[in-house]
Amino acid sequence: MRKDISFKGVFTALITPFTKKDLLDEDMLQQIIETQIESGVSGLVPCGTTGESPTLSHDEHDRVIALTVKYAAGRVPVIAGTGSNATSEAVRLSRHAQDAGADAVLLVNPYYNKPTQKGLFMHFRDIADNVDIPCILYNIQGRTGVNVETSTMQALSKACPNIVGVKEASGSLAQMKAVIEATHGAFHVLSGDDNLCLDLIEMGGDGVISVGSNMCPAYISKMVALALSGDMPGARAMEANLSAFFKACFLETNPIPIKTAMARYGWCQESFRLPMCTFENEENRAKLYAELDKLDALGALTRRV
């Protein structure tokens, strides 16, 4: 576990590569992680939405986190996805991540059971009380059916010293700004949407947990570094080349497009765990490929083949 962890920059929401036989592809995971680190990302996020965590067994989930920590070898922070809609399960996953050497945990809103704000507060507080490493909340109402209100985040930041930030995927810049203001800049706010990253940084945010950086780690890292250094015109110029790709990454449910893109360039098999599947609409595949071709011509992609 790193002692100098920073929550600024680009943190790649890693895909989970599977073999043709639907097994965890550990060799490819190592290659992906090595390339991400060499490309200059600020950190790695295994077992999030993009990593197909809902379809990983508990053993696989633990294994992916342990392997990511091993392969990262302390060179960048590892923020392990350990959230669940059962508090006891999230505690177990988070303790395992801490024991495996993860630098922080990412805790998604409890999904399906739609807790109240009181229930959300108690859920996150209980997890934080059971680990010593930093906790990052993951607020994504579109997938979980519940929003962590700003007042709840503010209360958690005061009650739990190791709850230090949030991945905001609400899609609401107004809410992100409110969180920054309510916590007086002491709470790290990372965008959960690539296309809102620069807007968030302009408001005082810290960066992004990125889907797109699976394919463009160096390019997106440079863009965000420019923004954080105050060179917003330079960052916006780079963003203009990425905006259509960011949209293409959500032509169908994440991680279908980004994993399809990774497979095209040899980073994984085009293999998903049901109920996730390959593209439903082949026109969407064509649109994705068209945007990849543009980025490839710019030299923005990290190629394996």
Residue 150 zone, left/alpha/beta (φ > 0; ψ -120 to 50; rest): alpha
Question: Among 253, 261, 254, which residue's Cα sits nearest to residue 287?
Answer: 261
Residues 6+ apart with CB under 8 A from 27: none
Angle, CA 89 vertex, CA 87 and CA 92 arms, to 5° = 110
Matching residue, tokens 């390959």: 278
Choose the catalytic residue: 167, 177, 222, 259. 167
For residue 189, the surrounding DSSP H or E stretch is strand 188-191
Farthest CA pair distance, the chain = 51
138 is catalytic: yes
Asked if residue 143 lies in contact with residue 110, where contact means CB atoms within 8 angstroms, the answer is no
289 is catalytic: no
Choose the catalytic residue: 138, 177, 219, 222. 138
What tokens appear for 152 in the block?
A: 């709840």
* Catalytic residue numbers, as ranges: 138, 167
